[in-house]
Structure 1
């Protein structure tokens, strides 16, 4: 290679380096100012994907949280640790407690606002009570591993969780460690005290950064609304109420449509958030099938009906919490019980409302406009039990399956009837045993003869 060629290559390399140095560095920013849960994890997941797509040089997370669910905090932590395409920054403004401390330790740089705090990461339940040692041990391991991955002091990280860890210069023995901004900077955990993002850019010598802030979409807001426990409870009521009306009123399609819509609105956002899994939706559907078989096919009420109710309960409750099949160790303590309380409470309330208002609703003119049912005219054999009161001991035939309610025919006239035996198959001969409140109560004729 001659000298001229070397000079040309040198000039090209110099120009390339100069252009790269002059090129503005890009920063993708996102804020989490809420409890660490499914919404925070969805926001972070989308923001990280957008940052990679935009080929950002830095990813800045502005954090202000008192903690949250360990499983979602661990997901965020893992994503930050595994990301190599950009450098990560956590700006604590103003709190990074518990799950927030774990996330902060996973960043390449930690900056803290004046008056901010970081630490106190013991695992607690919904009432704020300290959970047993197995939870604390797991959290200590996560904190140590995260600190070591970013070349930070694992003892400090462990002291956030374990009051037995002794660091006399920072805390009293027997107390959890919570660091102020100045303390975190003094021990090298935080890089600097700042009051704005621009001060962070200046400290990292990011000149004229091209900043892109993460924006939430209407889908994000809708999902956040739908997974609210109160809204989830209302949707469960819609599911149960729709199924109840569908089974009580043969031929009605609107009630089933309501149940399907409510089930979709219940499961879809939970599925997108990574909570509901295929198997949880499957056992809920299986529960409905078993319950329907018990009511419509199998006489009486037994194993299939009870199993159906249990599967429906479990399918709904399990979908509201994070789990690995039946392993709930990463679920926020107490959250599974709360889910069952929400589901059972919504079911009980629905049943109470159906008993009180169900008949009036079915017979209301507004509901009948939405019902797909045939007109039962007298010229084709239909009549009301009110028009015939002298039917005791009359013999007829079951025109539909009575389980226990259905249709019978006596003297070529159809009536609504209830089987006192619990189940009478279509085509069997029956006789009227009693007549109360405009209802005919019948038994199989074979039982009378016997």
Structure 2
């Protein structure tokens, strides 16, 4: 009986093991917020985790109205290069940047009431359409993403590139689908009809059934608070503010040397700028070292080496270069590894932050600093008498060689008079009677000497 029970248990365990081995591991990445630095950080970590656990399928659960083109492009590129099949499930919305991300997936499934499209680049301030050069770049990005799916055996595009362009530009005409007066947005049925969706599904189970997967296990990406914090501080707008604080802190610290409030602000801003980049793998440790070296060179030039020469210029270059390179993901000195346009964009961000910092500094200096705008260290400050400073009176030194009259007896010290003004003096010839005519022959240690 015991032997029979053992055999039955072994059979059940074997069947369970075979079933587990036959089931597919589906990794779910939810993108249900505005596309930005946080969603990009989540995507990178999710793809790394999916690779680590050997996921068979990655399902991007989309419900977004769009967001940053920069981060959407980064997500698009990562999905296009992903070695694991990627499925997009548009739960409700895949608007703007969300449509770009959906198009980058190997297959797309939409709920019956979902929509996808409207990829026109807009200004963040008022929502108006951005200039045509931005639209041109987005058209090319959408077209290239559609073309990446290739053609079928009949030589027809699986994802028509012209339709992708029509989602960006209202001037693009797709015969039978859209005229030249509006930007294209698909319903689920339209997307399926025109080849931009592979089917309609109401839940993840139906999506898996549509791709022929009946046995599957789900592993869902769970963001941590650290991911959110890192995403917040790697947001370009926040990075621009941190750069402003670094520059402003350094400037105001040069006004009043010493570890004061500006120093604390600059150091904290530098920490919040570089550490998230380091922990997310965007920047290497040598960038932080370069920034510190730049600060040391600048301080050396200002407080040790007279003038402003090689050390000061090298310090400024190191600080600027470390900040700019920190804005470039996976920077490399290898030719062709880093896109020049990304470096130019990072440089423009830095220049804009410097210009904004200069404006803030000029405003604060005009309001709160009477000496005005410019680097004016306290080490070069002139202590004028008009400002209340008191020093040793040097007027008696100018009396050497003048004639004087002893107004009191000098024993040998006493008082003399020159041009109606009385001074203390010491006789070098011993006792002198009051009223004696004398000559001032030296001024030493703040004392007049007569004979």
Which residue is 2:381 aligned to? 418
Residue 81 of structure 2 corresponds to which residue in structure 1?
A: 82
Alignment of structure 1 residues 63-142 onto 2, 5 Å: 63-84=62-83, 86-124=84-122, 126=124, 128-132=129-133, 135-136=137-138, 138-142=140-144
Distance 1:303 1:252 in 2: 25
Counterpart in the other structure of 1:437: 387
* Deviation of the 1:291 alpha carbon: 4.4
1:184-237 superposed Cα distances (whole Å, 9 cap, x missing partner): 111232122233223323333433532111001121021133235675466446
Q: Secondary structure at the match of 1:148?
A: coil
- Matches for 1:325-404 after TM superposition, within 5 Å: 329=341, 340-346=351-357, 348-349=359-360
SS at match of 1:100: helix
Contact 2:120/2:129 (CA < 8 Å) preserved in 1?
no
- The CA distance in 1 between the partners of 2:91 and 2:347, in whole Å, is 31
CA 1:343/1:278 → structure 2, altered by over 3 Å: closer, same or farther? farther
Partner of 1:147, secondary structure, is coil
Change (3 A) 1:99 1:339: farther
Question: Any gaps of 5 or more consecutive residues in structure 2?
Answer: 1-13, 333-337, 371-375, 393-397, 399-451
Deviations 1:366-391 (A, max 9, x none): xxxxxxxxxxxxxxxxxxxxxxxxxx
State the distance in 1 between where 2:159 and 2:248 align: 56
Question: 2:58–2:85: 8 Å Cα contact kept in structure 1?
Answer: yes
* Greater shift in the superposed pair: 58-67 or 144-153: 144-153
SS of the residue 2:29 aligns to = strand
Q: Distance in 2 between matches of 1:77 and 1:266?
A: 25
Question: Bigger shift: 59-68 or 146-155?
Answer: 146-155
1:188 counterpart = 2:195: yes
The verdict on how the C-alpha distance between 1:303 and 1:178 changes in structure 2, with shifts beyond 3 A counting, is: farther
- The unaligned stretches of length 5 or more in structure 1 are 1-14, 360-402, 407-416, 420-431, 443-447
Contact in 2 for aligned 1:115/1:180 (Cα 8 Å) = yes
Q: Residues 168-183 of structure 1: matches in 2 within 5 Å?
A: 168-173=175-180, 175-183=182-190
| Other-structure match for 2:412 | none
Which residue is equivalent to 1:9? Answer: none
Deviations 1:130-152 (A, max 9, x none): 43275256325423432328962
Higher-Rg member (1/2): 2
Q: Residue 172 of structure 1 aligns to a residue in which SS?
A: coil
Give 1:108 deviation, angstroms.
2.4
Residue 143 of structure 1 corresponds to which residue in structure 2?
145
CA contact (8 A) 1:125 1:131 kept: no
Residue 82 to residue 235, structure 1, CA distance change in 2 (3 Å): closer
RMSD between aligned residues: 4.5
Q: Secondary structure at the match of 2:148?
A: helix
1:60 deviation in Å? 0.8
Residues 1:160 and 2:167 aligned together: yes
Q: With structure 1 as the length reference, what TM-score do the two structures score? A: 0.63
Tell me: CA distance 1:161–1:244, structure 2 relative to 1, closer, same or farther (3 Å): closer
CA 1:124–1:230: 2 relative to 1, 3 Å: closer
| Distance of 1:440 and 1:418 partners within structure 2 | 15
Mark the CA change 1:28 to 1:268 in structure 2 (over 3 Å): closer, same or farther.
Answer: same
| 8 Å contact kept, 2:29–2:60 | yes
Q: Which residue of 2 aligns with 1:52?
A: 51
SS where residue 62 of structure 2 aligns?
strand
Within 2, Cα distance between the matches of 1:318 and 1:211? 38
Whether the 8 Å contact between 2:166 and 2:172 is mirrored in structure 1 is yes
CA–CA distance in 2 between the matches of 1:96 and 1:405?
A: 58
With over 3 angstroms needed to count, the CA separation of the structure-2 counterparts of 1:357 and 1:225, relative to structure 1, is farther
Residues 237 and 64 from structure 1, CA distance in 2 versus in 1: closer, same or farther, beyond 3 angstroms? same
- In the TM superposition, what is the alpha-carbon distance from 1:309 to its structure 2 partner? 6.4
SS at match of 1:79: helix
Determine if contact 1:236/1:347 at 8 Å carries over to the other structure. Answer: no
Structure 1 position 63, deviation (Å): 1.3
C-alpha separation in 2, matches of 1:187 and 1:62: 22
How far, CA to CA, are the matches of 2:119 and 2:225 in structure 1?
A: 33
Question: 1:122, CA displacement in angstroms?
Answer: 4.3
**Cα offsets for 1:403-444 (capped at 9, x unmatched):** 8645xxxxxxxxxx835xxxxxxxxxxxx9x413234699xx
Deviation of residue 29 (structure 1)?
Answer: 0.6
Describe the shift of the 1:274–1:165 C-alpha distance in structure 2 as closer, same or farther (beyond 3 A): farther
